[in-house]
């Protein structure tokens, strides 16, 4: 018997909150690695939010009932920088389901290349969310899964688009800050 697949709405609702992230990134081309810790804030945003409307406008799309938008903000400290400088940023993601288990994600800023981008997503039989983004020179593939209610795991691979060689891999463990949960 096949397990019911998660819907994007369920996955996003389960992801809302504040998370502590521990990430290890391996840049294979330069044989270097980076460890970083972050605070990540994932929130629903109104589709009439100015940033969300700008993304939809760039793709000449209008709102529909199935569209869902979130904001992901983060503050990171990396051992890559000698001064351990805090880095902050925000990404707006708009999910456009094709069906219950797959669709498209529009982003104001890509994961690999810092340009407006779109990704295809789908859920596998283990309820892992898979994202694939094709940029100008690279392809990013991510897999995000819940190990428990308050622990997520993310794996990513960045490939060179020209020859399909692996440029970078990373693994991230994300732990929900349950002290900030509302009853």
Q: Kindly list the distances between the CA atom of residue 138 and the CA atoms of 93, 143, 161, 180, in Å, as whole numbers in the listed order.
A: 20, 17, 5, 37
Q: Is the pTM of this model over 0.95?
A: no
The pair of structure tokens assigned to 180 is 């900030």
How many CB atoms within 10 Å of residue 38?
A: 21
pLDDT at 2: 46
pLDDT at 83: 60
Q: Which is nearest to 50 in space by CA: 101, 90, 8?
A: 90
What stretches in the chain show pLDDT beneath 70?
Answer: 1-5, 79-86, 111, 181-183
At residue 154, what are phi and psi to the nearest 5 degrees? -125, 135
Dihedral class, residue 84 (left if φ above 0, else alpha if ψ from -120 to 50, else beta)? left
* HSE-up of residue 59 (Cα within 13 Å, Cβ side): 18
- pLDDT by residue (tens digit) across 97-126? 999 889 999 999 876 777 889 999 999 999
pLDDT at 10: 93
H or E element: which one contains 122?
strand 117-123
Q: Kindly list the distances between the CA atom of residue 106 and the CA atoms of 18, 31, 176, in Å, as whole numbers in the listed order.
A: 22, 32, 25
- pLDDT by residue (tens digit) across 164-181? 999 999 999 999 998 876
CA 132 to CA 119: how far, in whole Å? 5
């Amino acid at each position: 018997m096949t397990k019911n697949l998660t819907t994007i709405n369920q996955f996003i609702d389960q992801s809302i909150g504040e998370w502590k992230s521990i990430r290890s990134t391996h840049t294979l081309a330069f044989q270097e690695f980076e460890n970083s810790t972050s605070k990540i804030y994932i929130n629903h945003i109104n589709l009439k939010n100015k940033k969300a409307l700008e993304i939809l406008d760039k793709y000449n799309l209008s709102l529909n009932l199935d569209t869902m938008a979130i904001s992901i903000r983060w503050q990171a400290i990396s051992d890559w920088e000698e001064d351990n400088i805090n880095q902050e940023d925000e990404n707006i993601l708009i999910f456009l389901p094709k069906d219950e288990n797959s669709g498209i994600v529009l982003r104001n800023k890509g994961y690999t290349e810092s340009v407006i981008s779109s990704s295809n997503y789908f859920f596998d039989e283990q309820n892992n969310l898979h994202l694939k983004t094709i940029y100008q020179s690279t392809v990013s593939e991510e897999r995000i899964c819940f190990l428990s209610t308050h622990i997520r795991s993310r794996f990513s691979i960045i490939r060179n688009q020209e020859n399909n060689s692996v440029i970078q891999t990373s693994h991230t463990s994300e732990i929900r800050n349950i002290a900030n949960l509302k009853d």
